[in-house]
């Protein structure tokens, strides 16, 4: 199972980049999801990460398709307010495009538009969505059964419950604060990796 770590929107580039470089050996992908950053800030962060040895092939840029294309980052993650999968694929056919979905119906529609993967959540209850119960592992299984795309699960993931995702068809787990805001990010990411690789 792939481990995706997503930036939290609570760290400056100066805080994020060293932490990202330190955890790089244990993550498959790092998503830059910074809604408040300008295109220049995102581009500069990509350059800083590159200078620290973080491969562009392991980066995923949220929403800013233009920045990804300009900086040679091969993967983008689309949100509900982003360009459509079809539009991105038409303009940038070489980009790997994943998008956020919240139901099997949305996942099927994304696949029909040409998405390469989907990010489904939130699976478990999470502090980032207070008062909203998690959609649950049953919903995850429905989504993974409805499409042939890789499905990445997100929302309230701990190292222990992330290990359960594979049994419901998920191809990966996406984590935000559980890694990047942990007191020891390297120790935290190793725990996730250990549990994801357990049989």
Q: Which residue's structure tokens are 């949305």?
A: 106
Q: Which residues pair with 2 in a beta bridge?
A: 172
- Report the first-to-last Cα separation within the chain, whole angstroms: 11
Dig out the tokens for 63 from the structure: 């929403």
102 as an active site residue: the answer is no
Spatial separation of the C-alpha atoms in residues 47 and 44, rounded to whole Å:
5
Q: Which residues pair with 64 in a beta bridge?
A: none
- Other beta carbons less than 10 A from residue 154's beta carbon: 23
Spatial separation of the C-alpha atoms in residues 138 and 168, rounded to whole Å:
8
From the list 102, 122, 167, 195, the catalytic residue is 122
Residues belonging to the active site: 122
């Amino acid at each position: 199972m792939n481990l995706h770590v997503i930036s939290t929107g609570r760290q400056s580039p100066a805080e994020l980049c060293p932490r990202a470089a330190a955890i790089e050996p244990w993550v498959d992908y790092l998503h830059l999801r910074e809604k408040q950053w300008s295109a220049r800030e995102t581009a500069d962060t990509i350059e800083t990460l590159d200078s620290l040895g973080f491969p562009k092939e392991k980066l995923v840029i949220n929403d800013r398709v233009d920045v990804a294309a300009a900086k040679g980052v091969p993967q983008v993650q689309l949100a509900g307010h982003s360009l459509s999968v079809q539009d991105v694929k038409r303009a940038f056919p070489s980009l790997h495009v994943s998008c956020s979905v919240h139901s099997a119906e949305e996942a099927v529609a994304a696949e029909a538009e040409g998405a390469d993967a989907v990010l489904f959540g939130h699976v478990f209850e999470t502090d980032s969505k207070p008062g909203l119960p998690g959609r649950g592992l049953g919903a995850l299984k429905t989504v993974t059964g409805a499409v042939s795309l890789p499905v990445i699960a997100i929302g309230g993931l701990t190292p222990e419950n992330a290990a359960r995702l594979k049994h419901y068809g998920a191809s990966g787990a996406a984590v935000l604060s559980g890694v990047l805001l942990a007191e020891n990010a390297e120790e935290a990411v190793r725990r996730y990796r250990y549990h994801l690789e357990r049989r």
